[in-house]
Amino acid sequence: MQKLILLLVCITLFSSCYQQERNCKDFHTGTFEFETLLNGELEKTVFIRTDSIEIDHYKGKSDTSSIRWINDCEYIVQKLNPKNMAEEKAVHMKILTTNKDSYTFEYSLVGANKKQRGTAKKTN
């Protein structure tokens, strides 16, 4: 019984020391791809991000948004030329984990509780 307790304590200690990689500054700028399922079809968005601007390319159309970094891993995206009321709302983005060429993020409308997740891959 003591060996089992010691084993559980060791597992807890080692797993609590593990921290996901977060090199967010590596993903502040560049060209990225994001794929998601919409209505059962895989859709791809390509976006180019500088430190203050993001240009999205989706289904042959481009859209430009401003970016305001809150900290190294969080930023606010706001469309520069919204076409309707829904596009006027800012989106809060948070990078959760990173690896060599991609990052997992969480996003929601600013002030909203419902969050969604995605993964973006850096292509350059």
Comparison of pLDDT for 64 and 17, the residue scoring more? 64
**Residue 34 to residue 118: CA distance in whole angstroms:** 8
Contact 78, 90 (CB under 8 A): yes
AA letter at 4: L
Structure confidence at residue 92 (pLDDT): 96
**Residue 111 to residue 60: CA distance in whole angstroms:** 31
Contact 36, 43 (CB under 8 A): yes
Structure confidence at residue 33 (pLDDT): 96
pLDDT-based confidence at residue 1 (cuts at 50, 70, 90): low
Structure confidence at residue 47 (pLDDT): 96
- Interval 3-62: pLDDT, tens: 555 555 555 555 555 556 778 999 999 999 998 888 888 889 999 999 899 999 999 999
97 exposed, middle or buried (CB, 10 Å; 0-12, 13-18, 19+)? middle
Q: What is the model's pTM?
A: 0.79
How is domain 21-122 classified at the architecture level of CATH? Beta Barrel (2.40)
Q: Where are the domains of the chain?
A: 21-122
**Residue 124 to residue 111: CA distance in whole angstroms:** 33
DSSP string across 37-72: EETTEEEEEEEEE-SSEEEEEETTEEEEEEEEEEET
Structure confidence at residue 2 (pLDDT): 61
- Interval 76-118: pLDDT, tens: 999 999 989 988 999 999 999 999 999 999 999 998 999 999 9
